[in-house]
Structure formats: structure tokens, C-alpha cells
Homo-oligomer: A and B are copies of this chain.
């Protein structure tokens, strides 16, 4: 097993870091705010800038891809090795809105270096993280003497992520053939902390559910009728209450069937993370924890499915009192899903369970507006092992694992391309995503470059 010589990678990065930061700064100067229709031209300029830069990097294919919204960028650099695996790197080139008046210490679209930090909107989310792959692949080639990467390298850099990726699903379905890959690497996430490098291995899925409950044809007097007719607000509340048993497990029959349980190894590795529950509660702004019995807080948010009431309303909600049996009530629920749970099956379980819980005299409508599938890459997956080794070499430290409790378009890639997804991000919680004074840590950015430089060779060698 030959390894990319680490010292060669490092000296190549040393030589090119200044130029790399200058290029990144040029890109950060383009205010590619996808949420602002007035800046659609800037998003396009950002895409075109990136295409030119990727060609300059050496990608033989680099294109602006049109969608029904703002443009994405696609690039491809075939390995030339017949047995080489294909890797698709995902990121985005659009950014959140930002203005100095919001409280920035520097101009958000004038990248400003202060010590080993570079401040600019998009520095961490996500231009910096996309960009480390450009110097990474060149360092990989320089250190190995190759003229093409050891893997078939594809990049897909979206232009509407900060606007909810409204056209992303359609785009990747349309281009599924050209996007075909053995593994997807998402570079749009973060690590546990600067001194605790981690790889994220999955995200929870999400299934939304809305239920409308209808009782009397209009609000009726609770003096005349109360105690003898069903109350839709009571039925709604009872349904929400019945979602959980006394152990805070979701009480819908079959809900946990077939889920991929945490392995002992994952639980042990999660437990190695320097987790401070009091600090976590401060971030959550919650006065206490509550969740499924038998699981830690991190396990609960990362690896366990949930049922959550996001909204409930019915009856009189103004000042004072109205003694009514309300005509209707409504709930918005969402279910976080983990690997092994199929959206359609969960919907059926919810539907069946609700149907058994409605008293005579209450009508209801149930709808499932949206869903995102969960994704999870097992710890022993070769691509994940390669990523961990590449990061380990860059960081000189043991790499631990995290997951994301939220849900995202990563699952779309997993589903459409049929490839495992993993998350290589070097951002840290202090980077100020979607906030003022967004920055990237230059030392971490460099470690991202290094990881990328080691990764392709390792992946190619260890792919079976």
C-alpha cells in the first residue's frame, strides 16, 4: 500500500496557500445571495467564476448547469484508471444574505483576514469548504506525480441551497446519468470542535404530517353541551399526548421496526466526544433534557427517530374566556426518521394509528406534505474509513464521529444516485453560519485541503 507522501502534500500547500486564499477571496467578493432576486446576476457570476477556476485547476469538464432557478456548477475529472471509484463532491456557491448594518465588524463581501481567520459571508458556508477541494486535488497530483486524480472526481456545486434547494431534486434527477457515483461526499457541514475533528456519518430524515380535526359544525356552548359531545381540541391534544409512552418512545405501533440501531462501537465513540450537557442546554435555550429512555442526549438527537408537535391550535385563543366546545382543531407534526425507516411505511403507520383514535362525532383530514429520507453510512464503509484516515493524517489526531439531527438534500443524492453519502466538513460551531461575522479558520481550511489531498489516493487504493 503506497501512500501519498504527506510532506510533499504539505510543502505543495505551503507554496500555494497565498494564491489559494487570494482566489477564495475573489470568489467571496461575489455576493451570490440566492434569496435576493436582485442578486440573481451575482449568483450566475459566482457560478461562472467557479467554472473558470475549476478549468484552471485542471478539470477537463466544468459547466454551468441551468435549473428552473439559479445555476449550479458541475465539473468532472476522470481518473483514467479503469478500476477507479467515482466520487461526487457536493457543496454550494450561493450564500446567506449579509449587510454590514446587521452588526458585522467587517464588510461581509470584502474578505478580511485577521490573524488566522478569514471573515466574509460564505467563508465557511460554503465557499471555503468547496474551495479546499481545488487545492486538495492539485496537491494530490503534485505529491503523487499523477496527471489525473486517483478517483473519477465529480463536483456538483449548487446555487440555491440557502433558498431551500427548490430545484435541486429535479436537477439531479435530470442529470442522474452524469452524476453517477460510487460515493457522495458532502462538504457543507462542520466538525465537533477545532480540537476535536470529526466526520459526520448520517442525517435524520423527516416526514411532516398535518391533521385537521372537525367536531360541531360551529363553536357550541360548553354549558349546554359540554361533557356530552366530543371536543376536537381534546381529540387533537390526546393524539399528541399519545405519540409517546412513559419512556418517551414513540408509541405508534411498528414505528421502530427495522431501524438501524446504534452499534456498541458508535455509542462508545459518541461517548468519547467532549460533550457538556449544560453548555448544550444553553445553546438549545432549554431548561432541561427530555427524551427516549436509555439514550444519551447526543444519541437522541442524532440517531433516534422522534415525533414532535411543531404546532397545535384550536378553539378560542384571544384574551378572556369563551366557554365553548370548539368546532375544529389542528396539529402539525413531524417525525424525524433514521436509517431503516421508509417514509411511505411511516406514513401508513401514522395513518393507521390515527384512524383508531378518533371518537365518533369527530371527522379528520390527514396530510403528509413533505418528507426527506434519512441517510447513514456505516462506520466500516470503505469510503468512510478512507475519509477518517485522510483526516487523521491531516489533523494528526484520532477522528471521532458525529451525525446530524436535521434533515437535508444529502438524502436526495443518496436516493437518486443510489450511493452512500458522507460528510467531510472542517467548519466549527464558532464559524457564524447564517449569522454576522462569518469566518473560516485558516488552519482548518488548510487541513481540509490536506484531507482532500490524501483522500483520493486512499479511496482508490482501498476501494473494492
Q: Contact residues of A with B, CB < 8 Å?
A: 204, 206, 208, 215-218, 220-231, 233-234, 236-244, 281, 284-292, 297, 300-301, 304-306, 308-317, 320-326, 329-330, 332, 334, 336, 359-363, 369-370, 404-407
Contact = CB atoms under 8 A, between A and B. Distances in A.
Given A221-B406, A227-B306, A286-B361, 13 more contacts: A226-B334, A227-B300, A228-B289, A228-B291, A228-B297, A229-B286, A236-B312, A237-B241, A237-B309, A287-B360, A310-B316, A310-B324, A321-B370
A222 B310 contact: yes
Nearest to A277: B228
A408 to B, nearest CB: 9
Nearest to A370: B321
Contacts of A316: 310-311, 332
A225 to B, nearest CB: 5
A447 to B, nearest CB: 25
- This chain: copies in complex: 2
A330 B321 CA distance: 13
A288 B361 contact: yes
B321 A369 contact: yes
B406 A224 contact: yes
Contacts of A208: 321, 323
Contact of A237 (B236, B284, B359, B370): B236
Contacts of A320: 369
7 contacts: A220-B284, A223-B405, A223-B407, A228-B297, A289-B361, A312-B315, A322-B332
A363 B310 contact: no
A285 B228 contact: no
A353 to B, nearest CB: 15
Contact of A230 (B223, B290, B369): B290
A291 to B, nearest CB: 4
A381 to B, nearest CB: 23
A261 to B, nearest CB: 15
Contacts of A317: 311-313, 330, 332
A24 B424 CA distance: 88
Contacts of A291: 227-229
Given A314-B311, A316-B332, A326-B311, A226 B306 contact: yes
Nearest to A250: B227
